[in-house]
Structure 1
Amino acid sequence: MNVLVLVTIFISLLAMAVGIKDMMRKSIVFDKNTPDVFYCPIHKPSGMEKLIVKARPLKKLCEFEGGPIPQDYKSDCYQDIDESNYACKEKYRIMKRLKKASVED
């Protein structure tokens, strides 16, 4: 095969992988109207318009605080996205926002 074709295929696959990873990161959703829960996908999302989510208690987001997940753990979300580094950062951001809102009230 032509080297240019191989490079093009590699770049395309890399772009798809980055796009899917970014979609997974964005799939953790918090709605200020329901502050006790977050939403996460239960199946692999094929697009944001086809994203099927379930509500989980906010305390379940980053439940293991970035540590190892027990082998017998039944995942709350697709591919344990709720236990990723991004999820832990997102929980910190959410809790900070909720604390700020409660102080203002």
Structure 2
Amino acid sequence: MQTSLTVILTLVVFLGAAAAKDMMRKSIVFDKNTPDVFYCPIHKPTSFDKMIVKARSLKKLCEFEGEPLPDDYKSDCYQDVDESSYACKEKYRIMMRMHPPGAEDEYDGQRLARFIDVDKEFYVMKMDEKKKIHLKNRLG
């Protein structure tokens, strides 16, 4: 009986910690209406409804590209959430959306590509398909 209670209590603590970690990880916010900045918490968030955020230049998101932070680094966001691997994935996703492959100002995300699960070739293939469909519709 006591062993079952210990297992359940451990599971509850683990799930609570995982939920808090997930909230911290996903606290990077990007709004397409303000494309030059992202928002991140300045204090430990207790919920998404009560999160106090500040705007930072998009250049500051994943500034060190997953490398160790310098000793004299002053954090932009609570617990350096803007330098996490999730933040780097978000920056890659944001930049690919703003400057997709095949566009005039195509984003070359070679450095950040290692953070994304989706291969860039997939995006290029999709853009080629769209071009073919567009050309077919124009000609035919």
Q: What TM-score results when the alignment is normalised by the length of structure 1?
A: 0.93
Equivalent residues, number: 102
Unaligned runs of 5+ in 2: 105-140
- Equivalent residue for 1:45? 45
Q: Residues 63-93 of structure 1, C-alpha deviation per residue, up to 9 Å, x if partnerless?
A: 0000000011000000000000000010000
Correspondence 1:62-73 to 2 at 5 A: 62-73=62-73
The structure with the larger Rg is 2
Q: Which one-letter code corresponds to 2:2 in the other structure?
A: N
Q: Which one-letter code corresponds to 1:26 in the other structure?
A: K
Q: What TM-score results when the alignment is normalised by the length of structure 2?
A: 0.70
Q: Residues 27-84 of structure 1, C-alpha deviation per residue, up to 9 Å, x if partnerless?
A: 1000000000000000000001100000000000000000000011000000000000
- Equivalent residue for 1:95? 95
Please report how far the alpha carbon of residue 5 of structure 1 lies from its aligned counterpart in structure 2 after TM superposition: 1.1
- Equivalent residue for 1:5? 5
Over aligned residue pairs, what C-alpha RMSD do you find? 1.3
3-state SS in 1 of match to 2:99: helix
Rounded to whole Å, the distance in 1 between the matches of 2:6 and 2:85 is 33
Give runs of ≥4 in structure 1 deviating > 6 Å.
none
